[in-house]
Amino acid sequence: MEEAELIARAQDGDRGAFDELVRRTYVDSYTLAMRLTADEEDARDVVQESYLRAWKGIRRFRGDAQFSTWLYRITANAAYSHLQRRRRTRTEPMSDGLEPAEERLEAQPEASAESAALSEQVSALLGELAPKLRAVVVLKDVYGLSHEEIAEELGISVTAAKVRLHRGRRRLRDLLYEEPRRAIHAV
């Protein structure tokens, strides 16, 4: 069944159609939540909250954007709200779940090991970013959204999205190049 038909049926109250939309989008929603929260339990809570919000708001979905883009916004907002409620920063490494970047790496086996190690390190360092910065970096660099789409997703201005992206990337770079120095000082 086409996505547009599923959406229309879900808007009419068909839970089975909505369940199919959930099935089709769950991996991407969970991956986004995992990247934004850096914690499996928090990610599951965020995804559950996201789909609850989506079900309650499905009638307001106008189709101006793709369903997945609309769901990204809900997931990002739910993650931000969840992290605000918890008021703590987590620095635990993220799991090796399905990640869009990994799919591209499989086509180049010689670069996979080095890229995978760097990807793992960057994923762990994402947990050290403030939630506002982490959300913009993930939406831009992992999901490839434009500055305008990020601004719309997070309910911020395009300028704020650009500034947060710049600050988030700069902080990641600083953390990435600080890691070897941390190891040297620890010896």
* Averaged pLDDT, groups of 10, the chain, 187 residues long: 92 95 95 90 94 94 88 91 69 46 50 63 80 88 86 88 92 78 48
Cα→Cα distances 23→140, 159, 170, Å: 24, 35, 36
Can you tell me the distance from the alpha carbon of 132 to that of 79, in angstroms, rounded to the nearest whole number?
A: 10
Domains in the chain with CATH codes = 1-88 (1.10.1740.10), 106-187 (1.10.10.10)
> What is the value of pTM for the model shown?
0.59
The CA distance from 76 to 9, in Å, is 25
